[in-house]
Amino acid sequence: MADATLQHDTVQHGVPGAYEAPLFGAYSKKVGMWLFLASDSLTFGALLFAFSYNRLYTIPWPTPFHAESIANATIMTACLLSSSLTMVMAVFAAQRGDRAWTRNWLLATMVFGTAFIVLHGMEWSKLIGEGLTIPGFPKPPSAATGELADISKNVPQFPATFFGLTAMHMLHVTIGVIYLGVVAFRKWFLPILGVLWIAGYLLIPADNVFHYGIHALLLGLIVGAVILYLKPKDYDAHDVEVSGLYWHFVDLVWMFIFPLVYLMSTKIQ
Amino acid sequence: MMHDTATHSDSKVTYFWVWGALLFLTAVEVVLGYRQVFQPVRMLEVLIILSIIKSALIIGYFMHLKFEKALMRWMLMASVVACFIIMYFFFFPDAGRVHDLGVKWTGQ
């Protein structure tokens, strides 16, 4: 033991950097994810600042969100907050080495995330059906005469910033659900993703924007397959913790989008 | 000492309290927003302050930054906050100019 200690000390001091303590006191994957999240927060920061600028600069600003929309967005917020709690439980289970409960908590997180995406998709479809549209995107016939059609014509920056910001966030949530699915189920998740993609494409009407948006799942399937087949591995507690950092970030961003986008545009009854 | 994973002695109960606090703050935001308690600029300020409190809880507890090394905490937060401050000076003086010109908010 004494030899081993001596040898270890020799290596530490003789070869600079070989066993040097990490600068940030964390493993490299975690530091890498934090750096990515710092850069991603600037992307969302720019979008949120642009939205807030338009909100203050445009007079009058449309207020299309009535009680039903606010209730829906509040439930979506509760889903994301609850998903963060289940994600924390997944990290705890992974640190205990409890693989079954790690998978269960990750699955619960994915269910909350999927509920968020479905609720958001329904909200989007309803708004588009009422006439809140941006040029070049598919829309149902009812959009031309809907009660929000005037907003799209007179204040086009509202649908542009609303859909731009929320689409970026929805994409992040979708990537997060796929990421957690890969960590929890590895290769078993790929056929599930494939079935969801095909089912979504066939079942969502062609005049709905998600008929094309569902192809994000195909992209996720391809990227997931490349990662899983090129570098197959058994994901450990570190991987679960790093995936949790990404998931909490998605939750964090929504904490700004919900009040700024929805609550600042409520319709007075 | 290297802090490999979040193996500190915080209990799960803490996370349930944080989750409850986040839900409560969300409810406060909904009430303030739906009842339009303040004028838009003041409302924006209040909602942003509440959002910053919520984000601090998420970053500190759920993302475990509270338990990381001080160097990591300060490097990450200082760089991101500095960029947001720069963005603020890029965007808001002009948005405020329209408000300062006296264009009235109709509320519709």
Residue A241 has its nearest CB partner, among B5, B34, B44, at B5
Exposure string for A120-158, b = 16+ CB within 10 A, e = fewer? bbebbbebbbbbbbbeeebbbeebeebebbebbeeeebb
Closest Cα of chain A to B19: distance in Å?
7
* Chain A residues closer than 8 Å to B76 by CB: 34, 38
* Inter-chain CB proximity B33 and A56 less than 8 Å: no
At A62 the pLDDT is: 85
- Please name the residue of chain B whose CA is at the shortest distance from the CA of residue A49: B91
Q: Per-residue pLDDT averaged across B39-52, rounded?
A: 87
CATH superfamily of A27-265: Cytochrome c oxidase, subunit III, four-helix bundle (1.20.120.80)
Question: Which position has the token pair 């709690």?
Answer: A85
- Segment among A246-250, B24-28, B93-97, B104-108 with least mean pLDDT: B104-108
Question: Which position has the token pair 């927060």?
Answer: A41
Q: Please determine, for residue A6, whether its predicted confidence score (pLDDT) is greater than 50.
A: no
- Segment among A17-21, A69-73, B50-54, B91-95 with least mean pLDDT: A17-21
Structure confidence by residue, pLDDT tens digits, A82-97: 999 999 999 999 999 9
At A57 the pLDDT is: 79
Q: Please determine, for residue B108, whether its predicted confidence score (pLDDT) is greater than 70.
A: no
Alpha-carbon torsion (A142, A145, A147, A153), positive or negative: positive
Residue A260 has its nearest CB partner, among B36, B47, B68, at B47
* Inter-chain CB proximity B104 and A59 less than 8 Å: yes
Q: For residue A266, what are the β-bridge partners?
A: A65
CB atoms within 10 A of CB A161: 21
Q: Please determine, for residue A12, whether its predicted confidence score (pLDDT) is greater than 70.
A: no
Q: Please determine, for residue A11, whether its predicted confidence score (pLDDT) is greater than 50.
A: no
Structure confidence by residue, pLDDT tens digits, A116-150: 999 999 999 999 998 888 888 888 888 888 888 88
Alpha-carbon torsion (B56, B61, B66, B69), positive or negative: negative
Helix (H) or strand (E) holding A250: helix A237-257
At A52 the pLDDT is: 85
* Chain B residues closer than 8 Å to A59 by CB: 98, 103-106
Structure confidence by residue, pLDDT tens digits, A29-77: 899 999 999 999 999 999 998 888 888 778 778 888 888 889 999 999 9
Residue A81 has its nearest CB partner, among B19, B34, B105, at B19
* Inter-chain CB proximity A27 and B80 less than 8 Å: no
- Please name the residue of chain A whose CA is at the shortest distance from the CA of residue B9: A92
At A18 the pLDDT is: 61
CB distance B60 to B66 below 8 Å: yes
Domain spans of chain B, in order of start: 12-67, 69-108
- Please name the residue of chain A whose CA is at the shortest distance from the CA of residue B106: A60
- Please name the residue of chain A whose CA is at the shortest distance from the CA of residue B60: A248
Mutate to test the interface with A, among B12, B46, B58 (most CBs of A within 10 A): B58
CB distance A9 to A18 below 8 Å: no
Q: Please determine, for residue A4, whether its predicted confidence score (pLDDT) is greater than 50.
A: no
* Chain B residues closer than 8 Å to A85 by CB: 15-16, 19, 62
* Chain A residues closer than 8 Å to B19 by CB: 81-82, 84-85
Where are the alpha helices (H) located in B1-108, listed in sequence order?
12-34, 40-57, 70-100
Q: Please determine, for residue B52, whether its predicted confidence score (pLDDT) is greater than 90.
A: yes
At A97 the pLDDT is: 92
Instruction: Name the average pLDDT for chain A.
Output: 88
Helix (H, G, I), strand (E, B) or coil at A111: helix
